C-alpha cells in the first residue's frame, strides 16, 4: 500500500473511532450495540469524500421534518460539517419524534469550493423514525459523480 493510501486509511479509521492497541487497529470501545448517551444528539450524520478518502469538511446541510398538516417540510436545523465531516448537535435530545425526516446536503457548493465539477447539485436523504428512543446515524459517502447512504449505528 502506498504511503498516501495508508495515510488516508488511518485518517478514515480515526474518523470512525478506531484506535491502535498493541500494534493492532481496534474498533472503538462499545462500538457494537451503542445506545444513546445522555445529552448526545439522537440523530447524527457524517460525510466522507470518497474521491479524496477524507472527511467532507465544510459541507452545508439542512434537516427538515415532514408535517402531517398539508404534507409540508418544516426546517429544523441548518448546519455545516466540521473538520471530521460530522454535524454535532444536529437534533437536540428530546426534540426527536416519530415521523419522516430529510437531510439535504449542498453537494454543488461543496464541490465548487474545491474547483470540482459534479453531477448532483444536492443530495436529499429521506428517512422514517418510528422509535424516538433510538439513536439514528445517517452517513453519506460522496464523490463528484455518485453518492451512497445507509442507516449507520
Residues in binding site for substrate: 46, 86, 150
Which strand (E) or helix (H) includes residue 75? Answer: strand 72-80
Identify the residue whose cell numbers are 439542512. Answer: 62
State whether residue 12 is helix, strand or coil: helix
Please tell me the distance from the alpha carbon of residue 43 to that of residue 139, in angstroms, as a whole number. 11
Residue 121 neighbours by CB distance under 10 Å? 11
Annotated binding site: 46, 86, 150
Q: Are 59 and 99 in contact (CB under 8 A)?
A: no
Please tell me the distance from the alpha carbon of residue 120 to that of residue 55, in angstroms, as a whole number. 18
Amino acid at each position: 500500500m502506498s504511503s498516501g493510501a495508508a495515510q488516508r486509511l488511518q485518517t478514515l479509521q480515526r474518523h470512525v473511532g478506531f484506535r491502535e492497541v498493541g500494534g493492532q487497529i481496534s474498533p472503538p470501545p462499545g462500538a457494537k450495540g451503542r445506545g444513546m448517551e445522555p445529552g448526545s444528539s439522537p440523530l447524527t450524520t457524517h460525510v466522507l469524500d470518497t474521491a479524496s478518502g477524507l472527511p467532507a469538511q465544510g459541507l452545508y446541510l439542512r434537516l427538515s421534518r415532514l408535517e402531517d398538516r398539508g404534507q409540508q417540510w418544516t426546517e429544523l436545523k441548518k448546519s455545516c460539517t466540521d473538520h471530521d465531516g460530522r454535524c454535532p448537535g444536529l437534533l437536540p435530545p428530546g426534540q426527536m419524534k416519530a415521523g419522516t425526516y430529510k437531510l439535504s446536503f449542498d453537494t454543488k457548493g461543496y464541490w465548487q469550493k474545491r474547483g470540482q465539477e459534479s453531477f448532483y447539485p444536492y443530495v436529499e436523504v429521506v428517512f422514517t423514525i418510528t422509535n424516538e428512543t433510538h439513536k439514528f446515524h445517517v452517513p453519506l459517502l460522496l464523490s463528484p459523480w455518485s453518492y451512497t447512504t445507509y442507516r449507520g449505528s
